[in-house]
Amino acid sequence: MRKIESPLQLELVIHKIDDFSPYLNHPNNKYRIVMAQYGKEIDKLLKYNYTFSSEFDDVKIALIQSGFAEEHWCDWKNDGQLVREALVRKGYDVGYFSMTIQNPYDSQFAHITRNIFHN
């Protein structure tokens, strides 16, 4: 297999790869996001020492959107706004999020909860 030089190339051959360590440890977080989208090395992705919390959030969002790591979703429902929005969009524990919002139409999640409950 030829050398993978971009996250897009990784995505094209991801099912043929056995050793993900070069991509897990790559400075470009997009490699880890691609791995998360395909559910590769989830435990290692969750234990990885991210430089910025936003990088870890991006990986969590990719895992949520792809339906992986559900056993961690409860722990993540108090994370940053983008992670919480990903959980709501995936339909996870919508009751929890609507209960924590006293007036959903004044909330940062108003557009999401309105769409879920009124569509």
Residue type, 113: T
Pull the structure tokens for residue 12: 């094209």
- Report how far residue 42's alpha carbon sits from residue 20's, in angstroms, rounded to the nearest whole number: 11
Contact 90, 64 (CB under 8 A): yes
Query: Measured between alpha carbons, how far is residue 69 from residues 16, 19, 35, 54, 55 in Å?
Result: 22, 20, 13, 18, 17
Q: According to the model, what pLDDT value does residue 21 have?
A: 96
- Report how far residue 43's alpha carbon sits from residue 97's, in angstroms, rounded to the nearest whole number: 26
| Residue 33 scores a pLDDT above 70 | yes
pLDDT tens for residues 69-109?
999 999 999 899 899 999 999 988 767 766 554 555 555 55
Mean pLDDT of the residues in the chain: 86
Pull the structure tokens for residue 73: 């979703």
| Residue 119 scores a pLDDT above 50 | no
Contact 46, 40 (CB under 8 A): no
